[in-house]
Amino acid sequence: MSENTFLRGPKDWWRQAVVYQIYPRSFADNNGDGIGDLKGIISRVPYLKELGVDAVWLSPFYPSELADGGYDVADYRDVDPKIGNLAEFDQMIDALHAAGIRAFVDIVPNHSSDQHEWFQAALKAPKGSPERDRYIFRDGLGENGEIRPSELISHFGPTAWTRITEPDGTPGQWYLHLFAKEQPDFNWHNPQVRDDFLRTLKFWSDRGVDGFRIDVAHALVKDLSDPLPTRESYDMSVIAPNGTDRLFDRDEVHEIYATWRELFNTYDPPRVAVAEAWVEASRRPAYASEKGLGQAFNFDLLAARWDKRVFNDIIDYNVKEAVKTGSSTTWVFSNHDVVRHATRFGLPDGYDWARWYQSGGTEPKPDLALGLARAKAATLLILALPGSTYLYQGEELGLPEHAAIESDQMQDPQWFRNPGKAGSRDGCRVPLPWTSTGKSFGFGPGGSHLPQPEWFAEYAADQQDGKLGSTLTFYREALAARKKLIKDESFRWVHHFNHNVMHFRRQGSWDSITNFGDTPVRLPKGEVIIASAPIVAGHLPANATAWVRHEEQRFSFFRR
Ligand code: GLC
Ligand code: CA
């Protein structure tokens, strides 16, 4: 396996890794049933190798009824038969490792699927039983328990409580689900739950998995003493940022991650993990601690508008924070939960996601050329930063969001649980176009589980492969350049006279310069290593980034 030995040692491979997120059901379909599968992934390992990523992260591939795209896990230690099996999983890991690519898998510890054998057992067992104690069951209020235990909304709809029917057929207790009703929350005060996740982490670590992405890592431990918490929204501003919130980011959650860390450290190299924790920036270090998961997603740029000052503050904060805590930060613009950044950067600031989706992605209409230019500039910028970078499948093709999916074809629970009101995450989960022709644009020999638009043809990988100026070629070149250039985690700002230009230096030898403004700016002298748009007469166009080899002395920041 190729090592990035430039860091403190081979154990640190993750610190500056470029991690490519695969959404398995939408990546590549080998058997033509319209659903991406592990064999499909295996068939695309050469593509991933050529792209130059250090690792992949697989969104859930476990047995699931797909109430929430696989984040409703029915069995944590198996592969969904719709997608493959364990033997194929092992082949996939071998194929990735042989290509020098490491693998993260997604762990979903806050909730299981309602099809999980433990939840099924809880439904059959009586109130107060050990089976029910692995989840969160409460009696309802009112004379007959018909009123839900508290006014708590779920992330995907009006309430986080659902009433069950008891084994004898009478209406019974209620269970808690912070997400869809098919996703009952575990009771993390129950030692069996804790032990079982350690078993799961060991299971995948033993199969050669290198790292874990931890879903909703901040929600596991809850204070559900009476009176039960109520809540009308999950806006981050309503989460107490001091570890005392009843539902999220409680200090006790770190006791769990300390036990996970002990397990990870029994492996060589130690297994790594990254927390998906939607917490205030000041609360991230605890998740990123080397006594805990080791790294935490920094989603600050996901919500950032294209503005030098906004980017500046976020980068400055996170780079300093990483130095302080000893972890490395993460940079990400796209994933399976947000509008693809090639589209997002072409939409006006502050657009309303839900309303935009309700209009089929037409009101307002994104400026796709502008969006792609900014997306490429933004990606080249983050690839120049210290920390790891997460790329989402399809962004290397410059793929825009497909928001014009017919309502009855949508799969995202958020969409149909809030009729006429919600946005959807399906438009970034549409199966990839590999070829410009064919039934599902080369996704597989059959159809596609989410409809692909006609215009996918022009973004197909085969249309971009080997073509100068294509987005795919740009990503390949950028990743190759990054691999050669990044030698340490040093970083320093370089002052630029133009307040729309971001300029910083790495390794004391090369610079990244981004033009957030709308007129070209003159680049400093030096060899242009790579640029997100053609450099014309020494000028960096608007909405573009260039990496320039720094020339000592002859360098001048203050000339136009
Ligand atoms: C995370 C996932 C998202 C999922 C949710 C519930 O936020 O990224 O896709 O719906 O957790 O598991
Ligand atoms: Ca398939």
- Given the CA of residue 337, which atom of ligand 1 is nearest to it? 9
pLDDT at 10: 78
Hey, what amino acid is at 506? R
Ligand nearest to the CA of 26: 2
Question: Residue 337: CB within 6 Å of ligand 1?
Answer: yes
Confidence of residue 552 (pLDDT cuts 50, 70, 90): low
Q: Answer yes or no: is the C-beta of 216 below 6 A from any ligand 1 atom.
A: yes
71 within ligand 1 shell (Cβ under 6 A): yes
Closest CA to 394 of 326, 327, 471: 471
Q: What is the tens place of the pLDDT at every residue in 396-437?
A: 999 999 999 999 999 999 999 888 999 999 999 999 999 999
pLDDT higher than 60, residue 241: yes
Residues with CB under 5 A from ligand 2 (ion): 29, 31, 33, 35, 37
Q: Which two tokens stand for residue 143?
A: 């004379």
Please report, in angstroms and rounded to a whole number, the separation of the first and last CA atoms in the chain.
46
Distance 445 CA to ligand 2 centre (A): 9
Q: What percent of the chain has pLDDT over 90?
A: 91
CA angle 292, 296, 300 (to 5 degrees): 155
| CB of 179 sitting under 6 A from ligand 1 | yes
CATH number for region 117-176: 3.90.400.10
Task: Report how far residue 270's alpha carbon sits from residue 266's, in angstroms, rounded to the nearest whole number.
Answer: 7
How many angstroms does the Cα of residue 24 sit away from the middle of ligand 2?
Answer: 10
In this prediction, residue 508 carries a pLDDT of: 86
Closest CA to 188 of 283, 254, 241, 284: 254
Q: Do domains 13-108+298-473 and 117-176 have the same CATH topology?
A: no
Each domain of the chain, given as residue ranges in start order, spans 13-108+298-473, 117-176, 490-554
Mutational test site, ligand 1, from 64, 179, 424, max ligand atoms within 8 Å of CB: 179
Which ligand approaches the C-alpha of residue 332 most closely? 1
Enumerate residues 6+ apart whose C-beta is below 8 A from 133.
Answer: 187, 190
- Ligand 1 atom with the shortest distance to the CA of 413: 10
Choice from 68, 177, 276 to test ligand 1 binding pocket (greatest atom count within 8 A of CB): 68
Structurally, at CATH architecture level, domain 13-108+298-473 sits in Alpha-Beta Barrel (3.20)
pLDDT at 166: 97
Any atom of ligand 1 within 6 Å of the Cβ of 68:
yes
Question: Taking the domain 490-554, which CATH number applies?
Answer: 2.60.40.1180
- In this structure, the number of other CB atoms found within 10 A of the CB of residue 334 comes to 25
Which residue, 107, 269, 128, 134, is CA-closest to 194?
134
User: What separation in angstroms does the CA of 41 have from each of 38, 98, 472?
Assistant: 5, 14, 18
321 Cβ inside 6 Å of ligand 1: no
Q: What are phi and psi of 19, to 5 degrees?
A: -110, 130
pLDDT in tens, 354-386: 999 999 999 999 999 999 999 999 999 999 999
